[in-house]
Structure 1
Amino acid sequence: MIDPKGNNLIFLLCTPRSGSSLATVMLQNHSKVFATQEMWFLMSLYDLQAAPHRPYGGAGIIKQFFNGVLPSETYEQACRAFALQVYNGLVHSSGAEMVVDKSPRYYYMLEFLDTLFPQSRRIWLVRNPLSVIASYKKVNKHVNDRFSLKEDLLNPQFNIKMTDITVGLFRYINYFSTDSPYAYRLSYENMVTNPKEEMQKLCEFLGLTYEEGLEKYGDYMDTSKAGLYYSMGVGDPFVGQHTEPHLESIHSWKEVLDKQEVEMYCRVLGAKVFHDLGYSEQLAEAEKWTGVRFDMKANMELIHSRTKQLVDATGCRWEDNYRIKADVKENAILLQADSDEIQNAIQPQVLQLQITVRALENRLEKSYANQKRVTDQLDALKNKINRIKSFIPFGNHLSQWASAYLINGGRKK
């Protein structure tokens, strides 16, 4: 059972193509765990505030409601209640006790995730960045989808895949840079090299007793949970070709990528990322192969540009360098120590003030928009008047000539 703080809820977080499908197909074999392919639905809840275009209209009205009328606390409580209904529905239908939500693009709303479920378990699946883009290239070719690092990595146009491997990676690096009792770092390379040992350690973090053979997912192919997993058709299409983890993809980047792709991506990420993630050896191989010594610093101009593109496209609200709270449990205890009586006394006043503030902010925004529209109209009229005035000298001469012509009866002087 998932409680309102997120206990028994597990988020598997990583950039796409980091091996989350493999981790999930092993985790779901545990009798107390429900895990399937990507859910993504928390992003839909988060995006309600953005009020995207709908065929029936009213985007402005809906946005006004979520951002001007509905208090943020009420909105968060409603989202939490909906999510709990979904997660616990999965628990009841599967007979499990825990739910794994494997959604790589949750880097999009880490703040929202922490607000809803501060005591959820968060697994950070880390993989060699060069292997990640190699997997992107390989899988997208297999499914006839476009992935061109050479054309798109430095292209100023928005591209979600390029955002994944730049902004998404840095968001996760920042997020997990602080120790937390609710965070666990799982290495993809360790997971495929020593799957049983890694599953044992992961179960311990989740508060589960390891069940023999979890990592041999081929033995569970005929179960209902496995049937649901494979029927969704999302994730790595090659997982089903094996029955347990293998080492083939650890070094595949050397075969899948060419020198230009390796050099471009390493220049963007910078050497420090590889060192911090534990891939110094792989970076050394890349430098030897390309003949380039990569700078420590990342191309932050590109990272900031990609971040701005995503923010502009979605309206998301991020905190700079956002990190997981160091000890959410301790903070929760301190908050609980506050008097319920004081909370009940001030809450209605606070909510009313928040509604008033949002209403005033929206009025100011509308006022500014109207002011800008009127200013643009005035500028257009002034330009039109100036164009008309430019003909006035000619108009005066024409008027004088016409008057003289009529007075003299059409005779020339």
Structure 2
Amino acid sequence: MKEEQLIFIISQPRAGSTYLQNLLSNNSQTNTCSEPWILLNFVNQLNPKRTKTDFDNKLAADAFEDYLQKHKELDYPKAQKEFILNLYKPMLSGYQFVIDKTPRYWEILEELVVLFPKSKIIILKRNPLDVAKSIIKTWDIKTLEKLAYYKRDLLWAPHRLKNFNDKHKNNPNVYSLRYEDLIADTAVEVKKLYNWCGITYSETVLDTSTNEKYKGKYGDPYQNSEVGYTHSKKTSKAKELSAEFAAFLKGYANYFKHDFLLAYGNYKTEGFKPQKTMAFRHYMHLCDERQKGYNFKKELKFFLKEYFFRLIK
């Protein structure tokens, strides 16, 4: 398999990547699967600094580098690339292209470009405020503590995606697309994307009702719903946000600021009323504590501090 046959779709979770994957794989030339997460299993080799393990990963990486220095006859980068490409090979059988739709590759975008410079990378953006709202509703998040699990996706991913886009704006193998544009003018955007990928386009690809390639354990939770995709999605959309989450979203909008959202995708904060809120401050506190482990005394101290702050304010 050649790296030119690989197409990556990368985004925040709940940014429309499954929908795009469905459209882009709905043809006889392209194959895909739910979400393979293949490359995330090799992060300790692609960039040891990103990996935390029970053993000393930094020490292990240094020892392995020492081994490679002693045996320079081994072309490790080439061997590594060939090994990883072979993992995609089963999907290539009978097809010309393979799509790896793993949103959280935003964590390793630069490593991805170095490893596969000839592969195509599609960056799918969506207003982060709508992403947060979708995460809360789709996965039925009940508390800010549960939402803190998505800290990296909510707080860091938009910045990483923007920085990558800015850096690679002239890279012919990087394509940036807004989810909002894909929804508003699906036929036009899909045709442009097909042409860019080198896949034969016809209007029939827009009817994805019989495409099953993208379904699996991971990905959009609606795709395997027993009551049907449309019904389950409508049910989720109809859910009302709690007052706490409504306040969180106002603070989340304030966190990004108007200028960033405009630069990221010409996004606005309409309907979210950006302002500092206790809910968002509590969320940031929980994100910090999540790394250290829950501590009741620290939680109590936080609320007492907030209480007295509000009193004197």
Classify the TM-score, shorter chain.
Answer: 0.7 to 0.9
Distance in 1 of aligned mates of 2:15 and 2:107 = 17
Distance in 2 of aligned mates of 1:201 and 1:131 = 25
In structure 1, the residue matched to 2:249 is 262
SS of residue in 2 equivalent to 1:81: helix
Distance in 1 of aligned mates of 2:78 and 2:27 = 31
The alpha-carbon deviation at position 276 of structure 1 amounts to 1.4
Indicate conservation of the 8 Å contact 1:51/1:63, yes or no: no
- Give unmatched runs, 5+ long, in structure 2: 292-313
Residue 135 (structure 1) aligned with residue 134 (structure 2)? yes
CA pair 31-42 structure 1, distance change in 2 beyond 3 A: same
The alpha-carbon deviation at position 229 of structure 1 amounts to 3.2
Amino acid at match of 1:70: L
Distance in 2 of aligned mates of 1:7 and 1:253 = 42
CA pair 271-171 structure 1, distance change in 2 beyond 3 A: same
1:8-407 counterparts in 2 under 5 A?
Answer: 8-48=5-45, 49=48, 52-53=53-54, 62-71=60-69, 74-92=75-93, 95-141=94-140, 146=141, 148=143, 150-151=144-145, 159-178=148-167, 179=169, 180-220=171-211, 226=212, 229-230=214-215, 232-239=216-223, 241-242=228-229, 256=241, 258-280=245-267, 282-287=268-273, 292=275
CA pair 253-270 structure 1, distance change in 2 beyond 3 A: farther
Q: Which moved more, 1:82-91 or 1:202-211?
A: 82-91
The alpha-carbon deviation at position 254 of structure 1 amounts to 10
The alpha-carbon deviation at position 199 of structure 1 amounts to 1.1
Distance in 1 of aligned mates of 2:58 and 2:272 = 50
Indicate conservation of the 8 Å contact 2:30/2:98, yes or no: yes
Indicate conservation of the 8 Å contact 1:25/1:217, yes or no: yes
Indicate conservation of the 8 Å contact 1:35/1:101, yes or no: yes
Aligned length: 266
Indicate conservation of the 8 Å contact 2:7/2:122, yes or no: yes
The alpha-carbon deviation at position 139 of structure 1 amounts to 1.8
Q: Deviation digits for residues 337-376 of structure 1, max 9, x if unmatched?
A: xxxxxxxxxxxxxxxxxxxxxxxxxxxxxxxxxxxxxxxx
CA pair 276-186 structure 1, distance change in 2 beyond 3 A: same
Give RMSD over aligned pairs.
Answer: 3.4
Amino acid at match of 1:69: Y
Distance in 1 of aligned mates of 2:39 and 2:146 = 28
CA pair 28-15 structure 1, distance change in 2 beyond 3 A: same
SS of residue in 1 equivalent to 2:270: helix
In structure 2, the residue matched to 1:369 is none
Question: Structure 2 length as normaliser, TM-score?
Answer: 0.73
CA pair 65-255 structure 1, distance change in 2 beyond 3 A: same
Distance in 2 of aligned mates of 1:160 and 1:208 = 37
CA pair 82-273 structure 1, distance change in 2 beyond 3 A: same
- Give unmatched runs, 5+ long, in structure 1: 154-158, 221-225, 310-413
Amino acid at match of 1:85: N
SS of residue in 1 equivalent to 2:253: helix
The alpha-carbon deviation at position 132 of structure 1 amounts to 0.5
SS of residue in 2 equivalent to 1:229: coil
Q: Deviation digits for residues 124-180 of structure 1, max 9, x if unmatched?
A: 111111110111111211xxxx564x4477xxxxx5511111112211110011312
Q: Deviation digits for residues 304-341 of structure 1, max 9, x if unmatched?
A: x97xx7xxxxxxxxxxxxxxxxxxxxxxxxxxxxxxxx
Distance in 2 of aligned mates of 1:200 and 1:216 = 13
SS of residue in 2 equivalent to 1:123: strand
SS of residue in 1 equivalent to 2:84: helix
Distance in 2 of aligned mates of 1:14 and 1:210 = 24
Amino acid at match of 1:90: M
SS of residue in 2 equivalent to 1:235: coil
Percent identical among aligned pairs is 26
Question: Structure 1 length as normaliser, TM-score?
Answer: 0.56
Distance in 2 of aligned mates of 1:96 and 1:237 = 27
The alpha-carbon deviation at position 87 of structure 1 amounts to 2.1
